[in-house]
Amino acid sequence: MNQITHPVIAATMLAVYALGCGNQESPQPSASSTVPLPQSLIAAAAPANAVGVVEARKNVEPGARIVITGYIGGRVDPFVDNRAAFTLADAKALVRCDANPDDHCKTPWDACCETHEKLKTSIATVQAVDDGGLVLKQTLKGFGGIKPGSYVTVQGKVAPGATSDALVINAEKIHLTPAQ
């Protein structure tokens, strides 16, 4: 995938988040690969030295190794249909709706109680790619127990073309962590 495509995907996803907490259609990446999801993507142990999304966005360097943590969320459906990508929300910066005592939200991971600006600055895109950098053509939803609201730690590389406004991580390992 060329250097322009990754930020375009991320920017498109961010634009959808800016529209609100509704159930909008997920954007579709323009280039993808039919390579199956590798079982090695799911890690048994959490990688060390993880940072939250907000911290990671302070120093985005494409190609740099990164370990980032949060929960799968930031919108009603944080997964991209038919693509191995999801939105990672900063668990320290964003309050999940189920953290509010009187909230009865059916999708607490969407953090719709937060402002659009805060959501926009507290999320990143995580994607699984093939050896050529193309996003894999199947969803990560359900893979290895991954679901909306799951707390995860992701080890990977900052995608080519990623910026502090559109942080995209090419995942090498995803570890499901206990609820926080």
- The 10s digit of each residue's pLDDT in 121-146 is 999 999 999 999 999 999 999 999 99
Indicate the residue type of 99: A
Give the per-residue pLDDT at 24.
36
What is the four-CA torsion angle of 152, 94, 101, 150, rounded to 10 degrees?
-20
DSSP, collapsed to helix, strand or coil, labels residue 144 as helix
Could you list the residue range(s) of the whole structural domain that residue 169 is in? 5-177
Residue 23: pLDDT over 80: no
* Token digits of residue 7: 């930020």
- CA 50/CA 43 separation, integer angstroms: 14
Q: Is the pLDDT of residue 104 over 90?
A: no
What rounded mean pLDDT belongs to the chain?
83
* CATH at residue 22: 2.40.50.200
Strands (E) in the chain, as ranges, are 32-33, 51-52, 65-72, 85-89, 123-127, 135-136, 151-158, 168-177
Q: In whole angstroms, what is the distance from residue 17 CA to residue 8 CA?
A: 14
**pLDDT tens-digit readout, 38-78:** 999 999 999 999 999 999 999 999 999 999 999 999 999 99
Q: What is the pLDDT of residue 32?
A: 65
Residue 20 has pLDDT above 70, yes or no: no
Q: Residue 7: helix, strand or coil by DSSP?
A: helix
Helix (H) or strand (E) holding 17: helix 5-18
Model confidence band, residue 172 (pLDDT cutoffs 50, 70, 90): very high
User: What is the reported pTM?
Assistant: 0.80
Domain count across the chain: 1
pLDDT at 60: 95
Question: For residue 94, which of 62, 58, 126, 121 has the smallest C-alpha distance?
Answer: 121
Phi, then psi, of 123 in degrees rounded to 5: -125, 160
